[in-house]
Amino acid sequence: MTAAATELPITRSCPYAPPAEHRRLREEAPVSKVTLPSGAQVWALTRHEDVRAVLNDPRFSSDRANPNFPLLLLGGQRRAIRFRPSLISMDPPEHGPARRAVVGEFTVKRMAALRPRIQEIVDQHIDAMLAGPRPADLVQALSLPVPSLVICELLGVPYADHDFFQTRSAKLLRRTTPAEERIAAVDELRSYLDELITRKETEPGEDLLSRQLDKSEDREELVSLAFLLLIAGHETTANMISLGTMSLLEYPEALATIREDPARTPHAVEELLRYFTIAEFATARVATEDVEVGGVLIRKGEGVIGLGNTANRDPEVFANPDELDVTRGARHHVAFGFGPHQCLGQNLARMELEIVFNTLFRRIPGLALAVPSEQLSFKDDANVYGLYELPVTW
C-alpha cells in the first residue's frame, strides 16, 4: 500500500460524534487507507453496508495474532503481547463450536431469568447513592458496580475482587498503557482466573465457569473465555450507562419520552448504542483472500477496520443520523458488530441498560449533572469510549 493520509485514532472535537474526518471519509472515500499508531496501513470502512459485508464474510479473519490484524497499539506494545486462542479471535472451523458451547448462557430466556436479580442490584446501588453525599460520581456509584456484579455472579467470580480486575481491565483498554504494564495486567488476570478455575474443579458452583469446565478440556481456552467475558462484560456496559445517563440528562425531550412510557426504553437503549458505538475499534479483520469491498480491491493479508461509529451515522440507513432520536427503531446498528462474532453479551447489556435507565430516572426524578458537560472527562485515550467520571446531584 502507498502512504495513507489519515492517521487513526483521531480525537473527537465533539464528544457526542465521531471525528469529522471519519464523516469526510464516508462521503468522499468510504473504503480508504489509514495509518495506525504502529505505522501499519489498513483499510478503513465507513459505510454501514461495507462494514456489515466484511463482518459477515468468512474471507476476513478475526485472528488477532496475525501481525496484520489492525490493533490500535504502538508497534512495541503489540510485539510484547502474547496472543492466546480466544473466542473473539477464532475463525472457522474453531469459532462455531466454541461459540455454541457458551451461547446457551446468553439467550434472551436465560437473561430474562436474571432480570429480578439485576433489578435488585440496581436498587441497592441507588439506595446507597441516595444515602451518600452529593454530588456523587455515577461511574463509581452505579455504572461500574452494576455490570461488574452481574458478570461476577454469572461467571462465579468473587465480586470482592472487583478492584483487582477493574484496575487491570482499565489499563488494558487505555491505549497509553506502557507495554510492560499491559503484559503484567494480562498475566495477573490470567493467573487469577486460572486459580479460580482450579478451585472450581474441586468445588464447582452454580455458575458459567463451573459449567464450562464440564465441556472444555482446554484450560488455556477456558481462561481466555473467562478473561474475555469478565472484561467485555463490565467495562462496555459501564461506559454505556454513563454516556446514556449523561445524554438523557442533556436531552430533556428524550428523557421525557422514556419517563412517560418506560416501555419505550428498549428503543432508547438501541438509539444510545447506535449514537455512541463505543467499541468501534473491535470490529477489525484481515483479508485471507483478495476481496472487493464497496468497489475497492482489498488484497489478501491486508487489514480492515470497520469504523462502526461512522457506519452507524450513515444517512443511507439512518435518517438524520446525527440526531439522538430515542423513538427511532435503530436495532440494525452495528454497535454490537455483525455476523458470526456479533456480541455474545448483547442481550445482557440491553437488559442492564434498560433496567438502569428506567430505575434511575424513576427513583431520582431530580437527577442532574453536577458540572457543565464541557467539564466531563471522556475516554478519548481508550479503545472503548466512555466517561472516566460522571458527577451527578439531585
List contacts with ligand HEM (CB under 6 A). 55, 62, 87-88, 99, 151, 228-229, 232-233, 236-237, 240, 278-279, 282-283, 335-337, 341, 343-345, 348-349
C-beta of 127 vs 332, nearer to ligand HEM: 332
Cα 161 to Cα 154: distance, rounded to the nearest angstrom: 15
Cα 52 to Cα 58: distance, rounded to the nearest angstrom: 12
C-beta of 257 vs 347, nearer to ligand HEM: 347
C-beta of 129 vs 151, nearer to ligand HEM: 151
Q: Are 324 and 270 in contact (CB under 8 A)?
A: no
In the chain, the largest separation of any two C-alpha atoms, in whole Å, equals 60
In the numeric block, the cell 476476513 is attached to 60
C-beta of 135 vs 339, nearer to ligand HEM: 339
C-beta of 283 vs 359, nearer to ligand HEM: 283
Smallest gap from residue 85 Cβ to ligand HEM (A): 12
3-class SS of residue 40? coil
Packing angle between helix 252-260 and helix 346-363, nearest 10 degrees? 90
Smallest gap from residue 308 Cβ to ligand HEM (A): 7
Smallest gap from residue 270 Cβ to ligand HEM (A): 11
3-class SS of residue 387? strand
Kindly state the DSSP code that residue 341 receives in the 8-state scheme: G
C-beta of 273 vs 392, nearer to ligand HEM: 273
The number of helix segments (H) and strand segments (E) in the chain equals: 15, 11
C-beta of 131 vs 334, nearer to ligand HEM: 334
Q: Are 175 and 37 in contact (CB under 8 A)?
A: yes
State in Å, rounded, how far the first CA of the chain is from the last one: 55
Smallest gap from residue 236 Cβ to ligand HEM (A): 3
C-beta of 103 vs 256, nearer to ligand HEM: 103
Smallest gap from residue 336 Cβ to ligand HEM (A): 5
**DSSP bridge pairs for 7:** 35
Smallest gap from residue 133 Cβ to ligand HEM (A): 29
Smallest gap from residue 234 Cβ to ligand HEM (A): 7
Smallest gap from residue 201 Cβ to ligand HEM (A): 23
3-class SS of residue 285? strand
Please list, residue by residue across 333-343, b when 16 or more beta carbons sit within 10 angstroms of its beta carbon and e when fewer do.
Answer: bbbbbbbbbeb
Please choose, from the candidates 362, 302, 388, 390, the residue with its C-alpha nearest in 3D space to the C-alpha of residue 45: 302
**DSSP bridge pairs for 285:** 304
Smallest gap from residue 197 Cβ to ligand HEM (A): 17
C-beta of 92 vs 315, nearer to ligand HEM: 92
Q: Which residue is nearest to ligand HEM (CB)?
A: 345
Phi, psi values for residue 378, rounded to 5°:
-90, 155
94, three cell numbers: 474453531
